[in-house]
Amino acid sequence: MENFAISLSETALSQMIQNSTWIIPAVQSVHILAIGVLFSSVLYLDLHLLGIVGRDSSLAHTRDRFRGWVIGALIVLVATGTLLIIGEPARQLLSAPFWTKIVFLIGLVYTLVWGFRRLAPLEAGAAFSPAWARPYAFASLFLLAGIVTAGRLIAYV
């Protein structure tokens, strides 16, 4: 991994990012905006599943309204995250919090796919409050918070 990080850091793209004063904070800012979109989308769907919001609209509508944004945000996060790794390979790839974050991310994607699969057959107007709502909501939010926490701790550890 160390050798991979070193060779990554010697690439032209990595050098360009390293020598720039603004690329990393700009890419990180976009990364944060995408976290905002992901977090609020996941939270909103979870709260609707739990019957706390959206009482005037159907769960199917909430599912459809947020699914595209969740997928889009994850794509932006992977893209900006990749740029950040290329810009500072050793700092990410040799960091325990970074790999913890990746494990949590895999867990989150699995959880979201699991949840959306179960919501897929739901039709507009149908009432739906499944038994799995609470554990699913807890898992999705815990994993998300874990990703953000581990991500911030990269700077400290």
- Interface with other proteins, residue 148, by CB under 8 A: yes
Angle at 136 between CA 138 and CA 50, to 5 degrees: 80
Considering only 8, 88, 139, 140, the residue that binds other proteins (CB under 8 A) is 88
Binding mask 16-55 for other proteins (x = CB under 8 A): --------xxx-xx--xx-xxxxxxx-xx--x-----xxx
Query: Amino acid identity, residue 34?
Result: A
Q: In the bound complex, what is the minimum distance in angstroms from residue 125's beta carbon to other proteins?
A: 12
Alpha-carbon distance of 64 to 39, in angstroms, equals 16
Secondary structure string (H, E, C) spanning 40-107:
HHHHHHHHHHCCCCCCCCCHHHHHHHHHHHHHHHHHHHHHHHHHHHHHCHHHHHCCHHHHHHHHHHHH
Alpha-carbon distance of 157 to 155, in angstroms, equals 6
- Interface with other proteins, residue 152, by CB under 8 A: yes
- Interface with other proteins, residue 56, by CB under 8 A: yes
Considering only 7, 82, 129, 149, the residue that binds other proteins (CB under 8 A) is 149
Interface with other proteins by CB under 8 A: which range of 10-18, 113-121, 131-139, 146-154? Answer: 146-154
Query: Amino acid identity, residue 138?
Result: F
Q: What contacts 140, CB < 8 A, 6 or more positions away? A: 42, 46, 108, 111, 112, 115
Q: 61 or 118: whose CB is closer to other proteins?
A: 61
Q: 69 or 116: whose CB is closer to other proteins?
A: 69
By the criterion CB under 8 A, which residues form the site for other proteins? 24-26, 28-29, 32-33, 35-41, 43-44, 47, 53-57, 61, 65, 69, 88, 91, 145, 148-149, 152-153, 155-156
